[in-house]
Each structure stands twice: as structure tokens, then as C-alpha cells.
Structure 1
Amino acid sequence: MDYTAYPRNDVLCIDMRSFYASVEAVKLGLDPMKALLAVVGDPNRSGSIVLAASPALKEKYGISNVSRFFELPIHDPALIIVQAHMGDYIHVSVEITKLLMEYAPKEAIHPYSIDEIWVTVNGLEKLFGDPCQIARKIRAEILESFGITCSIGIGDNKFLAKVVMDLHAKKQGIAVCRYEDVSEKLWPAPIEKIWGIGNRMKKNLNRMGIITLGQLAGSDLKYLKKRFGVMGEQLYWHAWGIDLSPVFGDFIKTEQKSFGHGMTLLRDYSESEIGICILELCEETCRRARTAKQAGKTIHLGIGYSKESSGGFSRSRSIITPTNITMDMYEVCMQLFRTFYDGSSSIRRVYVTLGHLYDDDQTQLNLFEDISKRKNLGFVMDNIREKYGSTAILRASSYLPGGIAIDRSKKIGGHFA
């Protein structure tokens, strides 16, 4: 492969090791790399997910981020179990980003998740040294300032930086992969270890006899495109270490295509009480749409049954006039529910979506119905909640046993703040 035509940058991919567990360990005055610590969503539920396990706990007992609370080695007196505090993790993540702004401009920093971030350090040699020296300085300063160990991958683009971080930096601390290093450092890796290749794609590629990234690089590009479309082409170029995604600019500005909310319920819900959840999810979805001055014509409802029942449905319906009024969306969702619900299964997951968006000020009012009062009521409720909190004004149904709004108000991303 001739790489002369492809851009070369100095991109760092920084990953905080066991971020949630590390933050909790530091709060307790413990060494994040040595403590046996697990962060769980809700310690009062045996089936609660382990959100993070310290490196020592992973190594000693094989606990991972897909383990459950009941799988933890509670017989070990050294084990520490703490409840997740999402507010703390967000705060530390923001402070780490502020630290990185001392090394690179805002336009060169691209947060990927709460514990992972790309930083492009082109042209900073005179200030901080070469990319490896910059990585060492950042790693040392994060450890000194926050007590958290991080791994850093360095590459000519985001893909190379990310993959070399996953494959090598998590063991070495800092690892580098340039275009010329791809065959040596990346090709021997199993495809499931490569960022962007999920379980389904792994199975598809394995059926084609492709086990390693090197075998993917040696595949026929035309066949990959025919089999997988644009994704097949992207996989091929990634296998050669080529990634043309931007390394500077506004990375988070995207066009909003829909508004939606959903959740996995803490218990099985019956037909008689699921309507309360649907109403509250519609309320939040329409609030976001109103805030963005958008209205939608397509309303979608998804229902997932409990494990005992399995299955569910996902259906949508379009309306004539775009709306962001809660009760309009709720009524359509309930029509969908009554039409497609099997009548007996317990419900464990629910989500709603408002799509096919229009600018709210461009939508036409129904001449035979005065909806301005209902729209104004929604804006008034939004303003009260924005000023005094999400539970400052609630529907009476939210106080019934099936209500979820009060519990959700205490959480960030589905976990306690």
C-alpha cells in the first residue's frame, strides 16, 4: 500500500483505565490499580450490572463490565462494592478535558466517551516535545492531578490511535502505530479485537474465512463492497490503517433526525400500568422537541417483553400535522400498543421516538381545533421544570406505583447521580 497520498497527523487516543472504579477508589483513598473494587448500578439488586471493575479485580477474578452483581466474589474480604455516582464521573471527565486544553486547542480535542478522548497534537513539538513526550506528560499529569492511570495510543489518524491503544497501550501504557507499523502491530489481531467490528460482523467475516485483520486486508475490496456495502469498504481501508475522518473541527455538531427516550424497567410491568411509563417518556421526548423548536410527523413505539415471554414489537405511525404536544404523541403510542400488544406478556422495555421532523414555526395549525393553548401549556411546564427541576411539576399519574419520572430524576444515564 502506498501511503503517500494519505494524511499523516499526530493523534493521541487517551483511555482512562477502569474509569468509574478508579474515581471511586481515589475517593476512598485507595490505589485504583491495586484495590479490588466493583462499581454497580444498584447494590440492592442481585441482577444489577457491574459498570466497572478495577484492574486488580478483573485480573484476579475475571470480573468484567458485563458481569452481574451476584457474580462478584463476595467471599473475599478485600472486595469493595460501591454504587455508581454518575455526577462524579462526569465532573472528573470534564476536568480532564480542561487539562487537555492546556496542551491543544479545543478544535483538536474530540471526546469519544466519558472515559476516552482523542487529541490531535500536530505542530506542538517546540512547546511540549514529540508525540511520545506529550503523551508521557499528559499521562503523568492526569495521574498526579486525579490519581487515575490512563493508556495512550498514538497514530497517524484516529483509527490507528484507537486500535493501538486497545491492543497494546493498555499493557504498555503508551503505544505507537504509524502506517508502516500496521502489518506488524495490527494484522495479527483477531478481528473481534478491532474497534468497529461487532459480534454480528465478526460472525459474517468468520464465515468468509476471515479471522485476523491481516486476512481482512488481503480480501477482495469489490467483494466486501458487494457483500457489506459502504461498511465493507470502510472495513477494508481500516484494515490497511487508513481513516479519513476529520481530526480538527466541531465534532459534535450533527443534524437532529429524531427525538426519543426509552428504558429497561426495574421490574415486569403489566398492560394496566405500562401507559404511565409511555406517557412520561412521551413527555420528555416532546419537551426536548419543543426546546429545539421542532415537531414530528412519525411516532414510534417499541415494547420488549420479559425473558419469560420473550419478543415484543416495534411499530410506527405517521400523522398529518407535525406535533410536539405530549398528549398527541401519547394517544398515538397507546393506539399502537393496543393494536400490537399480545395481551398477556409482561413488559420489561419501552421506548418512544418522534421523527420526520419539521421546524415548529413552519407547521400549520388545525383550523378546526385550537391547539395553541395545549402548546402553550407545554412550554409553561417546560419553563417551570427548567427553573425549579424536573420534578417541580408532575402529572398525578407519576405518583402511582408504575410511575418512573421521580426515580429517573435522581439518575444520570440511567444510574444514580
Structure 2
Amino acid sequence: MPKNRIYVCIDLKSFYASVECVERSLDPMTTNLVVADPERSEKTICLAVSPSMKAMGIPGRCRVFQIPTNLDYIMAPPRMQLYIEYSAEIYAVYLKYIAKEDIHVYSIDEVFMDVTDYLDMYQMTAKELSIKIMQDVKDTTGITASCGIGTNLYLAKIALDITAKHVKDNIGILDEESYRKTLWNHKPLSDFWRVGSGISNRLERMGIFTMKQIAEADEEMLYKLFGIDAELLIDHAWGRETTTMADIKAYKSKTNSISSGQVLDRDYDYEEGKLIVKEMADLLCLELVDKGLVTDSITLHIGYSNQIEKKPAHGTTTMTVTTSSARQIIEYTVKLYERIVDKYAPVHRATLTFNNVVDETYKQYDLFTDPAEMEREYQIQKAMLDIKGKFGKNAILKGMNLQKGATTTKRNRQIGGHRSGV
């Protein structure tokens, strides 16, 4: 009979804010600090608020203007490169105890671990091992962690997200029986992993407000409402999860894509928006070359100004080539932009995706392509990557990057759309 698995989910409390406090030799648990870019408007979203501010009821992802004006706090500009370095240091702590094959990095501040085969070796319970790892993280970096322990991945996550918040040691523990006993009637449903506001709102319209009610609901009705996703919802209502760490490690996506998105710092007119999309296509082409990949399909999503009520523009185009050529891809991207975007609606958001990304050995030309010319462009792109790698991303730019409204030089100094801090 297979051994029951034990999973641990560790989260770094208010990670970005905690790092900023540690860097200032301040206690993250008592210091009022928010991570937000002071150069942006008061509508900008805080990337994190410190635990002491969360204890006052201030949401972790609030906007600056939502923070009470009578509250004294430090505003720390984002330093994404610093947070990545802290995260890497903490991952190294995890590796002292658990092999990388048994760790799944869920985000920069959260991991899942399958600790099943380590408990006998360490002669510890899952809780004792978790405490040891969390204390090592604290001693090494000054960052406080919280933890969920469960008999499957879902229960470990729920133990972290819900149970751990209500116990003094920040460690929640759940199995299927205790989950149904303690959380079946928990509200709101949106507190549960993978139950967003859209799902919870649809359930509430049917008079379903708890996991117990989902478990007891007519399954046919749930499948009619949610399709195949109902299976996961029903399993989670009972505290079940069939996916294992081995499944996660073995998973390979059937299709691959790369994408770039940005929210602009003001509304852009039609031509400025086109420039932004061209810049995004150019950078994604360099990413293709850098990774030895090619694409044959492009998807563009344009969100309009918040000042107007207008459905976003969305479209996909298939190219007659499979390539990483910026010249060819930008041409297709511009035609797609011109086809789907309203000339008279201000642009505020843009996301560009290259679909069906495959190895460059699958590169294909059409009758109108000169292979020698494409090879010359490819070598120029490789040279640009070499220069950027040695001297920085802004060491070599194109003319369009210097036009009014261009964002490439600014974005090259960012990580994930936020200041790198270097």
C-alpha cells in the first residue's frame, strides 16, 4: 500500500516589505512600511505592506490613496533585483533540508515541499521539520515565514492560507477529516485556493456559500455551470487533490508561448500605442533569438482607457513564416494592431504573445523571404544580445526607442514591470 504523502507549503510573510525592513535594520512585525513607487500616482498599487499594517486591516495589495492619511509609514521604492537575491538565498536554505526534486517553487515567496520521505530520516514530525526550516530562514535572512502542512498539495495550501492565520505559531495543519470539520462552513468561499470572485459569485447566485454546500450540491448542476472545472471544485470541496509533486515535475506543456505586457503610465493615442506594440515585438524577438526559438503566430490584446467603457481589442494572426526575425514579426504585429484597434480610443494596456513557440530548428521561410537576408538579421540580433549582455540592456537601442512615448529604455531598468533597484 503506498505511503500517505505529507506536504508543506511555506510562505514568506509580506516578503517585499519584510526585505525592505530587514535592509533598514527594522522589525518587519512592528514597522509600518509599504513597497510602492513614489514616482507613480497615489492610485498606484502597493506591492506589499508590512505585517503590522496588515494587522490594522490594510490590504496587502491596496492603492496608496487607500492608506489612512493619519498613519505614519515608510514608502520604500521597489527593488526587484534585491528581492530575487533574497529569494535565491532562502531557496538555498530549503535545499539544505529537501532535494530540489521534492520542491516546487510556486512564486518568489512561496514553495511546496513533499517531506514524506524525510521525516524518518530526520526523526521529526512534519511540524518539527517545518519549524527548523523556518527558523533557519529567519536566522539567515531575518525574514519570518508561515507554513501549511497537509496530506495533499491542496490541503497544505489551505492550511497556509486560512488555518495558519488563526494560530499563534503561524503553522496550519490539515487532513481531509479536519478540513471538513473546521473549514466546511468557512466564509467567504473566495478565501479558498483557486476560487476567484467570478466562481464564488456564480455559486452564491445558486445559494451556495460554503465548501460543505458544494460537496452536497447536485454534481450534474455543477458540471453544467463550470464544465470540466467542476471536477476540481468538487474534489477540493471534499479536501481531495490527486496531483502529486511527481506529477508537477513530470508535467510538460503541449504548447509554449512567450508574452510581454504593460500598463502605461498615461493614456496613449493610436500612433503612440502602435509604437509601444512595435517595441514590445522587438524585445520579444530578441528573447526568441536568445533562447533559440521561433514562432508562427501572434496574439495582441489592447485595453483602452479607464475613462471610457469600451471592450478591449483582441486578435490573433498566423504568419506564413516560422521565425524570430524582428523585421517580419513587427510587420505582422503592426498589421494586427491596425486591424483590431480603434483609432479614436485611448490605449492604456497592451499584451503581446508569441504562440506556438518551438526550437529554431523548425524555422520556415515562405516564397517571399530571402534566407540570406534573414541570416544577416539573425546575426545582428545575436550581436545586439552580446552587447546588452556585456554593457546593459540600454547599451544599444533602436531609433524607435528614443521617440516620444517609447518605454523600452525605462522597462529595461525594471524587473516584472517594477524597479529593479539597480
What TM-score results when the alignment is normalised by the length of structure 1? 0.92
CA apart distance, 1:199: 0.8
| From 126, 144, 153, the counterpart of 2:148 | 153
* Aligned mates of 2:247, 2:93 — CA distance in 1: 19
> Which residue of 1 is the match for residue 42 of structure 2?
46
Q: CA 1:102 to 1:358, structure 2 compared with 1: closer, same or farther past 3 Å?
A: closer
The reply to whether residue 102 of structure 1 matches residue 113 of structure 2 is no
The reply to whether residue 180 of structure 1 matches residue 177 of structure 2 is yes
**Cα-to-partner distance string for 1:222-249 (whole Å, 9 max, x where unaligned):** 3323331221001101111111212247
> Which residue of 1 is the match for residue 273 of structure 2?
274
CA apart distance, 1:42: 3.7
The reply to whether residue 394 of structure 1 matches residue 397 of structure 2 is yes
Q: CA 1:16 to 1:139, structure 2 compared with 1: closer, same or farther past 3 Å?
A: same
The one-letter amino acid of 1:325's match is: S
* Aligned mates of 1:209, 1:219 — CA distance in 2: 10
- Does structure 1 conserve the Cα–Cα contact (< 8 Å) formed by 2:256 and 2:358? no
CA apart distance, 1:181: 1.2
**Cα-to-partner distance string for 1:244-279 (whole Å, 9 max, x where unaligned):** 212247639644521221110111111222232112
* Aligned mates of 1:379, 1:206 — CA distance in 2: 54
Q: Alignment RMSD, CA only?
A: 2.1
CA apart distance, 1:33: 0.9
Within-5 A mapping of 1:38-187: 38-60=34-56, 62-76=57-71, 78-125=72-119, 126-172=121-167, 173-187=170-184
* Aligned mates of 2:358, 2:90 — CA distance in 1: 38
- Does structure 1 conserve the Cα–Cα contact (< 8 Å) formed by 2:10 and 2:146? yes
Q: Using the TM superposition, name which of 38-47 and 224-233 deviates more.
A: 38-47
- Does structure 1 conserve the Cα–Cα contact (< 8 Å) formed by 2:49 and 2:61? no
CA apart distance, 1:97: 1.1
Give the % identical residues.
Answer: 31
The one-letter amino acid of 1:149's match is: T
CA apart distance, 1:6: 8.7
* Aligned mates of 1:369, 1:122 — CA distance in 2: 56
Structure 2 stretches lacking a partner, 5+ long: none
- Does structure 2 conserve the Cα–Cα contact (< 8 Å) formed by 1:43 and 1:82? no
> Which residue of 1 is the match for residue 360 of structure 2?
360
Provide the secondary structure at the position in 1 that maps to 2:230: helix
CA apart distance, 1:162: 0.4
Provide the secondary structure at the position in 2 that maps to 1:272: helix
The reply to whether residue 34 of structure 1 matches residue 30 of structure 2 is yes
Q: Using the TM superposition, name which of 198-207 and 120-129 deviates more.
A: 120-129
* Aligned mates of 1:128, 1:276 — CA distance in 2: 61
The one-letter amino acid of 1:204's match is: R
What TM-score results when the alignment is normalised by the length of structure 2? 0.91
